[in-house]
A and B are shown apart, each in its own frame.
Chain A
């Protein structure tokens, strides 16, 4: 396997890719509507609302109603993108997501904005770090956390074309574009960013570019770590995870989420059942103190150095 080259440069707010893509899709397909909870501005949908006022349904501060309305719109043949801060979309309306969208099987696109700890100082009520664990148990819900602006746009296009419920977990945290040669978005498939045989770093969303930086740091020390962008959390790319376990013998998972039940949980469940290897989970241990996003990332090791340190620990534990 030859590793595609991945470079990083400049920083982008992926919400711009989200709106530009959605507006283009909506212009071509009048079934596309958005449903929001007083979140037009925070979802960057002001220009969408101007262009498509009738297709912008703002139910006010009422997330349970919002998700139910999304299911109803799908019943009526629309393709709703239900967009709200990730914390309220998934936490407040969890039963509507479970029963009205996934169990009922409606073609609803749930879009969690400013997910993870993007609202740093606003505290755990506004953090969305439990969403992976909650939503990953809903088997028919595709859960995608794009790593950069390109992947955000591709994931939105894929979601619009896909018949079935999707949760897109977006962030407002600026990230660099990953430069990958001949890049193709494949839902449900891990993307290889760095090849290596001594450990595998599996990351998603805002942490992917940090995982790449950690792998580059390790390589300078003579440690070759594989890096997988696991944008699709659910369903898991089991083949890629089991291959990583078998071929590299040590795994590090990195997610802007709780270490319980999310990407790390999924990888640990799978490997412990089929290919046991040490798994170091980088993420948040639970409710975190107040602080800026960068402070939180550094404090909890979601940084280049923190990920590199976790990788060294995993390799040491593997005893290879």
Chain B
């Protein structure tokens, strides 16, 4: 642990802990989606430890900032960040995917505090986040809504329906972060059903667009904590699937690959 007041250093510490802990969960359960956990980890650590207003003792505090995990398969990242944020004890993480566990393979808001909505089927988070942002606009509430989607996930039409709605309604309190790791389940996004140029698409739908290195805590902090403009904001976070473990980086098969004992030990050596 680094002793410093540098907010980015704190975020990096939390992210390191999350990666190690999430990978142990996946190793012990022999299930999970570690590639997408690792591409999203720094983004989520930045939101929870540098950007969002929330109180883990009051998960239903009406003015809390909302985080919607649309890529619901990345529960390694989600459960570790919520636990680190104080929503539930760390030892619950050891029950990941066990029978009757609150830590299901995909998140359930009725099982755990800190989860705003159930996800797992892709393309659901942005419409729900849009509704949350409209509610905030209607009531004049000060909260902000952050939604994280995958990039392959953007092939779902529901995202574009919501993008149009949010753009037309000028939902300035809404931030959409795309985990742009350029891989989906089976292959690259561009060889499957290409998404580029994403920035131009977002602009055409009425969104402000920011590009950021999704593993640079200082840069993420700056972009995500910037004051809202007058339109919804899309942040394209360029990331590496499997980030932090040499043999996992940019490998499609680590989407839902699980480590053997040797790979687990190797990852623990690298994640320091």
A residues lining the B interface (CB < 8 Å): 38-42, 58-62, 64-65, 87-88, 91-92, 119, 121-123, 125-126, 289-292, 295, 299
Known: A40-B186, A122-B120. A59 touches B105 (CB 8 A): no
- In chain A, what residue has the closest Cβ to B72? A125
- Which of A38, A42, A295: most chain B CB closer than 10 A? A38
Query: Is the interface on chain B under 10, 10 to 19, 20 to 34, or 35 or more residues?
Result: 20 to 34
Which 3 residue pairs of A and B lie closest in terms of their CB atoms, listed nearest first? A60-B193, A125-B120, A60-B155
Binds A, one of B50-58, B60-68, B95-103, B165-173: B95-103
A91 to B122, CA, bound (A): 12
> Is B192 a contact partner of A289 (Cβ separation < 8 A)?
no
Cβ contacts B104-125/A at 8 Å (1 or 0 each): 1110100000000011111100
Q: Indicate if the CB atoms of B106 and A58 lie closer than 8 Å.
A: no
Q: Interface readout for B156-170 with A: 1 if CB under 8 Å, 0 if not?
A: 110000000000000
CB < 8 Å neighbour of A289 from B99, B118, B119, B187:
B99
Of A40, A42, A87, A290, which contacts B100 at CB under 8 A?
A290
Kindly list chain A residues whose C-beta atoms are within 8 Å of the C-beta of B189: 60
Q: Quick one: which of B98, B108, B119, B157 contacts A64, CB cutoff 8 A? A: B157
Complex CA–CA separation, A84 to B119 (angstroms): 18
Write the nearest CB–CB distance from A121 to chain B, whole angstroms. Answer: 4
**Closest residue of chain B to A43, judged by CB?**
B186
13 contacting pairs across A/B (C-beta < 8 A):
A38-B155, A41-B186, A58-B192, A58-B193, A59-B193, A61-B122, A61-B185, A88-B121, A121-B29, A122-B31, A125-B106, A125-B120, A290-B104
Considering only CB atoms, which chain B residue lies closest to A294 in the complex? Answer: B99
Complex Cα spacing A65 to B186, Å: 18
| Residues of B close to A87: CB separation below 8 A | 121
Determine the residue in chain B with the shortest Cβ distance to A290. B104
* One of A39, A64, A121 near B97 (C-beta < 8 A): A121
Q: How far is the CA of A61 from the CA of B183 in the complex (A)?
A: 12
In the complex, are the beta carbons of A38 and B100 less than 8 A apart?
Answer: no
Say yes or no: A126-B184 contact (C-beta < 8 A), given A289-B100, A290-B101, A290-B104.
no
The answer to whether B105 touches A126, judged by C-beta atoms less than 8 angstroms apart, is yes
Chain A: CB-nearest residue to B191: A58
Contact, CB under 8 Å: B29 / A126: no
Inter-chain contacts of A121 with B (CB < 8 A):
29, 31, 97, 104-105
B100 engages A291 (CB within 8 Å): yes
Residue B179 at the chain A interface, CB threshold 8 Å: no
**CB atoms of A41 and B106 under 8 A apart:** no
- In the bound complex, how far is the Cα of B105 from the Cα of A87, in angstroms? 15
Q: How long is the Cα–Cα vector from A290 to B187 in the complex, in angstroms?
A: 28
B37 is an interface residue with CB less than 8 A from chain A = no
B176 to chain A, nearest CB (A): 17
Contact check, B106 vs A291: say whether CB atoms are below 8 A apart.
Answer: no
Interface centre among A87, A88, A91, A290 (most CB of B within 10 A): A290
| Chain B minimum-CB-distance residue to A85 | B121
